[in-house]
Structure 1
């Protein structure tokens, strides 16, 4: 039977519990004589727990700013260091001092700075290893030209055509293209043609539209042909695209193949044409072709596909297509005028909702958007001048 001690208040404890209690008392530090021990207040178990006070308005709290997710790419380290090296060459204190002076020495270091600035302009123009920045590209092209890098004339001409530092002004490109002919004649010819093409009025349909007027003729074709014969890949691609538009796939394939050795875009275009991605023969009558083209143009202005949305032009073209026998255009017109405004005018809000309808069937439905392989141009006419190692870094 377990042994217990009987205390005065009639509580019985086991022997081993008493031993443990005595041993614990021996560990307590002895209190010296005369020391007063302050009584301890036993906590009120039933008292509510006070919440921690909210920080006062005087406390400075650093905001947590979101950080964008970044994908580590070992190549980024090389890109950063190479960009820094080019910038040190093109924007050194000595270069800035020389630019402020009237003297323009043609030392090797000076010309190296010009070439570095030209490369930086191409890098920012195409977004090669950096976000694309047209205004920054324009600044570097100006610096390169001031430092004697004559090839930067091409950059200044393209920026005038495209509008790197403001609105496009193709008419001002000629001042840069003229001296460029002595440096790079094929590119100068193509840029001259491109400036003229950008200045041409927009080709729109007319009521007396004929089948041969569906595709506007090339402006100044002699310039484009001369540039292509001189080996400019962009002129060859443009001639190939024009041949496709004129239903001349064999001629288009030849143009694309001539440029394919120096252009991945031209090679891809050649593959598309060779595989029959573009229509070769159209058995429809001339009237049906005209109606189909008018319908296509109307849908472009209706949907804003490659052009600005223009509902008035779209309705006019739908009417022309309907007059030529297009059933889809007739169905679209019926839907457009099925919900007029109170005054009888067209409800353009309703018109906008109709843009994605498929009217090839008697019962309209939403069209299924597909992503067909499309013929393309190079990003800019200067991309082949960008060093190969930077072309692989284009975003």
Structure 2
């Protein structure tokens, strides 16, 4: 899938607009979960102002009192246009989409359609912790098919896991994260085609979380799962929330391949009551008119990715960091520091830097931490400085 490279357009880097003082006035979980002396680089919220087209759309709706219930297909149409422009993909058919409250609740509804009580759901750890949590709460069995040592899908392991998942005669699904959180891996067309072939061979239904799809950096191309041969029975969840920092404006889209249209049609109508009308307005505006802002963000994130690599090499060379090709997240292998299974806890207590703990990501998470790159270069630099101090600081003392 050919990707149109992002370009600098004269728009200011959104990561260098807000001061730390301004950010600390926010009341979201990123800025309220820890005391003010902590630098929060954990949950997937970005330190950016909203894109101007989003602000105009939402404030315009508020001025009109347009705060009722959602209607229409504008969101799906905007996503289809974005996919055609950015990914050269025209496979989003509006009639095979449905609005859902957010991506993870959409995942739950899709899994309900293609699996039953006690069925297996395959995941690729280390992976976004809600994959484990939501599946377990849905009374499905989490079955792990760990990523390879290179951080990519291990197709041999995946095939064996699929075989075991259906060996008792039950149904199974594969919950794929694409691009992958936390590693930032962008799956190739070849890998995704192999996944589709394996899924069809073993009767496993694929549900794919593509929430980070707009956040592919550098020259790497994002490949929508539903665009590859054999993926016709797949189900995808997409949203503008991660790329434009809209998590608090709830709205996502469930997208069915041609062979899954009947499945999506069985989704209860009340699921569509959950998304916010203002959220749909915001996401639609982002996808239609927020491309210039996104390009500036991608350029800033790419610079931060390279900055983090330099900072770690200088101050914490024991940490292994392989910059990902997507997302604004960095997966840090801290085992060389000897800080135990949860180095994020040490960085928080001794360094006053909040990262996301690795163990909840499943197999391969122990000794790791996830860092949110979507901050100013100054905050990122100070965070690494504090982490370096925390490595040698005696317990109970702060830097």
| TM-score normalised over the length of structure 2 | 0.25
Q: Which has the higher contact order (CA 8 A, sep 6+)?
A: 2
Greater helix share, 1 or 2?
1
Larger CA Rg, structure 1 vs 2: 1
| TM-score normalised over the length of structure 1 | 0.25
Greater strand share, 1 or 2?
2
